[in-house]
Amino acid sequence: MHLTLDGISHHYGGMPVLSGIELSIPAGEIVCIVGPSGCGKSTLLRLIGGLERPDEGAVLEHGGAPADSLNPLTYIFQDFALLPWRTVAGNISLVLEDHGLGKTDRDAIIDDVLARTKLSDFKTALPRQLSGGMKQRVAIARALAVRPAVLLMDEPLSALDSQTRELLMDDLVGLWSKTPFTAVYVTHNLEEAVRLGHRIVVLSRRPGKIRDVVEIDMPLAERPGRAAALSEARERLWSLIRDEAAAADMELVDA
């Protein structure tokens, strides 16, 4: 499945948040969205996922979801949102229990996503026993369990320390390299954007408009060894955002 955003505009009350967003999200690519604080990044993700409806324009889906997809558009949030009384396997099972699957099928899916996210040895652990990185791996495994056509990721690594974030980025690249998926990835962290994004959408200060789309024509797996090229891409992104980020910061402080 690939998506097209056709003239998306949105308001909250009388405040314009997004204006005239035109964007293609190709199948099998990770599209990162960056911009100054308050520019509408998370709002745009909610509109893509159908949690809200745009005031103008439409989100168009092309190609259909895979036949085995249980939930075509699936979120991964900053907050891990794990049920503390359920085990790792139980938290993943939660998203499968309303789809008419038998226990054997559910168990097979759970074992598969645990293996893919390096959690097989922690199947019976409770969330309180897990590190932040492992909790987010459970959240990723839970999202993969429904075989989404598009992953919608809202600051998924921002609550983690820098070392854990690096490890999770490596994990995401490994998952994508084995089975390429489509994702929209909202982040304020430009290092994450240049590490994970095939293309990076830069939004302007509110109301958010697309200032530029920066494409990084470099295989994801090769990026850790291409620091100079990634630094150049990061500097280009920062040059697009810097002045508006400073203005947005002063606006928030004054408010």
> Taking every pair of C-alpha atoms in the chain, what is the biggest distance, in angstroms?
57
Asked if residues 204 and 244 have their Cβ atoms less than 8 Å apart, the reply is: yes
Please state whether beta strands 73-77 and 2-12 pair in parallel, antiparallel, or not at all (unpaired): unpaired
| 173 and 167 Cβ atoms separated by less than 8 Å | no
Considering the entire predicted model, what is its pTM? 0.92
Least confident of 187-196, 201-210, 212-221, 243-252: 243-252
Residue 186 three-state SS = strand
Examine the pLDDT at 122 and tell me if it is beyond 90. Answer: yes
Distance CA 142, CA 89 (A): 9
Report DSSP state, residue 177. H
pLDDT in tens, 212-221: 999 999 999 9
Model confidence at 250, pLDDT cuts 50, 70, 90, reads low
Q: 119 with 127: CB under 8 angstroms?
A: no
Helix (H) or strand (E) holding 141: helix 132-145
Cα–Cα distance measured from residue 107 to residue 87, given in angstroms and rounded to the nearest whole number: 13
> Distance (Å, rounded) from C-alpha 48 to C-alpha 254?
31
User: How confident is the model at residue 253, as a pLDDT?
Assistant: 42
Domain 2-254 has CATH 3.30.429.10: no
Structure tokens at 208: 């958010």
**Between 253 and 226, the higher pLDDT residue:** 226
What are the pLDDT digits (tens) for 163-178? Answer: 999 999 999 999 999 9
3-state secondary structure of 153: strand
